[in-house]
A and B are shown apart, each in its own frame.
Chain A
Amino acid sequence: MLVLWTDALIYLLVLASLGLVWYLSRQQTMRRPLTKLLSSPVAMATLTLLLCFGLIGLLDSIHFKNTESNGNEAISVLDRACDAMRSHGEKTYSEPFAAYLYSKETITQPDGSTRWDYPRLKHGGADLQNPDTDLMADVITKASLGVVKVVLVLGLLIWLLTKANRRLLWQPPSAKAVWLVLSLVITLTYSLWLLSNDYHVFGTDKVGEDVFYQALKSIRTGLVIGCLTTLVMLPLAIVFGIMAGFFKVWIDDLIQFIYTTLNSIPSVLLIAASILMVQVYMTNHAEDFNNLLVRADMRLLFLCLILGVTSWTGLCRMLRAETLKLREMEYVQAAQALGVKPAMILYRHILPNVMHIVLISVVLDFSSLVLAEAVLSYINIGVDPTTHSWGNMINGARLEMAREPVVWWSLAAAFVFMFSLVLAANLFADSVRDAFDPRREGF
């Protein structure tokens, strides 16, 4: 087992979110919005999808040393599961479900003569005798085999349940949506995984790496950026925001000054400047970052830190405004009159009452951070070029749109994965806002 820095923080984050769920479920005031959230089919379906993404990301965060190659290369559980995709490299581009390479080359035939044609792929559809005619049928057989297997297993599971249990599973108002999404995701993942043993489901990229594998690996990067940034930003925003609103006078002035200053620098430029400085630091301290993996990991961590530092100001301002309102409430003034210490008032009376703002803004920010990663990687100030990320996939593929025929599959894969993650996050964020924002009672 090998724990990278981001891995450790991800474990911490999982623990923290479990703690948050436990805390929220114990709070009397959170009961109503939570039940509202639980009974919304859209919220639960998107949450299921997000959790599936999270599971893949988590599997990709459990690293251990690779025993096969005795270097210091680390592989994750996900890599193990995708061994076939990882090892099935081709020479260069190939289309999804192709049996032939994208570009022509000289092929030496058995009788010694040479021919200028598209060569067969090493792994994609390699066991087919005559790809031109058999490919379609083979793909359909294998895909349906996967679907049938999943359906059989699920059917067996349902059959094993007693009637009472079965009814229990269907009873909650959003249960149907959850089971539908879950079975769809399982079927799709399993069939694609099965197919990827013999084919390149999303084709291969310029150096012949499986695009489906890249897209799967990118999930972790996207989630890390979306979540760890939150972990950086939350303490800053909560502590400063509440303090500024509660203590007023010079603390308020100082904190306002800090965040107005940070806000006034265009965030892309601040990120660019910081990343440039990190790069300078890394080249000058090359001995600390000699391992490629550690280097990429540190850069990812730095990016999260910088994004966190640039993005806490918005939430801080909202929390300050809300605290300003809350501190004039009767119950806070009563607590003050009774001699409760300020720290206790903040913890007991203010914090629980601004929790909904924190929650809403965290889920709202998640999707924009995932989108921001792609843009930053395009400007070369995002993650390390060796890290698998959707931004890097887009960046590598965008120039290939000019080729003839068009190399579209890398973009398509990045699009499908990003779109489903961000759409799920956006829809979930809307539901969370509807459930937790007291002003949206009527909507």
Chain B
Amino acid sequence: MINYLIRRLLYALPLLMAVNVLTFVLFFVVNSPDDMARMQLGQKRVTEQAIANWKHQHGYDLPLLFNSDEQGAKQLTTTIFYQKSVNLFLFDFGISDSGRNIGADIQQRMWPSLALALPSLIVGLLVNISLALFMVLFRNSYLELGGSVLLVMLMSISSLFYIIGGQFLIGKLLKWVPISGYDSGWSAIKFLMLPVMISVVAGIGSGVRWYRSLFLEEVEKDYVRTARAKGLSETQVLFKHVLQNAMIPILTGVVVVLPLLFMGSLIMESFFSIPGLGSYTIDAINRQDFAIVRSMVFLGSVLYIAGLLLTDISYTLVDPRVRLS
């Protein structure tokens, strides 16, 4: 087990390095720091001095990969690649283009993101699985036919309409909860109710279809026939046997997204002005703050790779058939 884990960890390392190099190429080679300075300073005729100042301020005035002015190891360390990209491995995100400490911002903002994403995931999972089981229970009936047509329709509506519609109906017409905003501590609940509800409803279409196909695949298997032959009722078969066996793909599917919950959801957070990492990223994109976008790209991939590792581990825990080879 330990050996296996170490091997997986070692496999994750080159992946992270590749992501790192990719972001470096994207942010510093495709467009030189000069171009970024010109973009940030805004005007077409910027003086060379202004560009040099901006670059110096943000630490972009170094050579990209190799500094021939320095001696020894410093030839490699006083470069943009080392200072901006390698430091990401130590979770040292540096200073954003507007002068704030990105690491501190991230630590502060990931909790509201989690407060929104975790309940959305759990409630969504419960709703989707129960609806899917319900549909499988009534399979080959008009109820299922109507249900699947409804699901396709729900799936065809853009998530933006769910959000706008939900805000308008519940926030503005019925005035049950505030339209948007956030508060610290437990008083955040009244702000979180609407976004959680909307993301659950928006996910029903594709979610229920996915779980339904999982269950349908399982229902055809031999052990289900045996259970029925044993004289178990259809409900018992579904809830006891099918659900338990279908739990393996469901669980592993959930585990992979768990770390990514910290990243939050971009549009949800910006529509409901929740100060999480999603709205942080959107703000950075709109302000064209390259340092933040770069850090978020790296953080996102770290979390995704962590999710893959967790999936591997959970497979070995849940499914005894998986051998650690």
Residues on A close to B: CB < 8 A?
A: 257, 260-261, 263-266, 268-270, 272-274, 276-277, 279-281, 283-284, 286, 367, 371, 374-375, 378-381, 390-391, 394, 398, 401-402, 406, 411, 415, 418-419, 422-423, 426-427, 430
- Do the beta carbons of B156 and A426 come within 8 Å of each other? yes
Chain A, Cβ-Cβ closest to B164: A398
- Do the beta carbons of A265 and B301 come within 8 Å of each other? yes
Contact of B164 among A279, A401, A423 (CB under 8 A): A401
Chain A, Cβ-Cβ closest to B17: A261
- Do the beta carbons of A274 and B153 come within 8 Å of each other? no
Size category, B interface: 35 or more
User: Chain B, 114-140, contact with A by CB distance < 8 Å: what is the 0/1 string?
Assistant: 000000000000000000000000000
Interface SS of chain A:
helix
Could you say which of B26-34, B58-66, B68-76, B241-249 contacts chain A? B26-34
CA distance A274 to B294 in the complex (A): 11
- Do the beta carbons of B286 and A266 come within 8 Å of each other? no
CA distance A427 to B305 in the complex (A): 34
Question: Known: A257-B18, A261-B18, A277-B27. Is A378-B160 also a contact (CB below 8 A)?
Answer: yes
Chain B, Cβ-Cβ closest to A283: B39
Contact of B39 among A273, A279, A380 (CB under 8 A): A279
- Do the beta carbons of A379 and B26 come within 8 Å of each other? no
- Do the beta carbons of B15 and A280 come within 8 Å of each other? no
**Inside 8 A of A422's CB, which chain B residues have their CB?**
156-158
**Inside 8 A of B153's CB, which chain A residues have their CB?**
423
Question: Is B285 located at the chain interface by the 8 A CB criterion?
Answer: yes
Question: Is B152 located at the chain interface by the 8 A CB criterion?
Answer: yes
**Inside 8 A of B35's CB, which chain A residues have their CB?**
280-281, 284
- Do the beta carbons of B152 and A430 come within 8 Å of each other? yes
- Do the beta carbons of B282 and A379 come within 8 Å of each other? yes
Between-chain CB contacts (< 8 Å), 28 pairs: A257-B15, A257-B18, A261-B19, A265-B19, A265-B22, A265-B297, A266-B260, A268-B266, A269-B296, A270-B297, A273-B293, A273-B294, A276-B293, A281-B31, A283-B38, A284-B38, A379-B270, A379-B282, A379-B285, A380-B285, A381-B285, A391-B160, A398-B164, A401-B164, A401-B172, A406-B168, A422-B156, A426-B155
Question: Is B288 located at the chain interface by the 8 A CB criterion?
Answer: yes
CA distance A281 to B160 in the complex (A): 30
Contact of B152 among A371, A379, A427 (CB under 8 A): A427
Contact of B14 among A257, A284, A398, A418 (CB under 8 A): A257
Chain A, Cβ-Cβ closest to B281: A269
**Inside 8 A of B301's CB, which chain A residues have their CB?**
264-266
Question: Known: A261-B15, A265-B22. Is A423-B267 also a contact (CB below 8 A)?
Answer: no
**Inside 8 A of A423's CB, which chain B residues have their CB?**
152-153, 156
**Inside 8 A of A273's CB, which chain B residues have their CB?**
23, 26-27, 293-294, 297
Chain A, Cβ-Cβ closest to B168: A401
Q: Whole-angstrom distance from the CB of B215 to the nearest CB of chain A?
A: 14
- Do the beta carbons of A281 and B30 come within 8 Å of each other? yes
Chain B, Cβ-Cβ closest to A258: B18
Question: Is B161 located at the chain interface by the 8 A CB criterion?
Answer: yes
User: Chain B, 165-181, contact with A by CB distance < 8 Å: what is the 0/1 string?
Assistant: 00110001000000000
Question: Known: A269-B297, A279-B39. Is A284-B152 also a contact (CB below 8 A)?
Answer: no
Q: Whole-angstrom distance from the CB of B42 to the nearest CB of chain A?
A: 9
CA distance A281 to B22 in the complex (A): 18
Chain B, Cβ-Cβ closest to A281: B31
**Inside 8 A of B7's CB, which chain A residues have their CB?**
none
CA distance A344 to B18 in the complex (A): 33
CA distance A380 to B26 in the complex (A): 19
- Do the beta carbons of B267 and A378 come within 8 Å of each other? yes
7 further A-B pairs in the complex, CB-CB below 8 A; given A367-B156, A390-B158, A426-B152:
A264-B308, A265-B22, A270-B297, A273-B293, A374-B160, A422-B158, A430-B152
CA distance A68 to B159 in the complex (A): 41
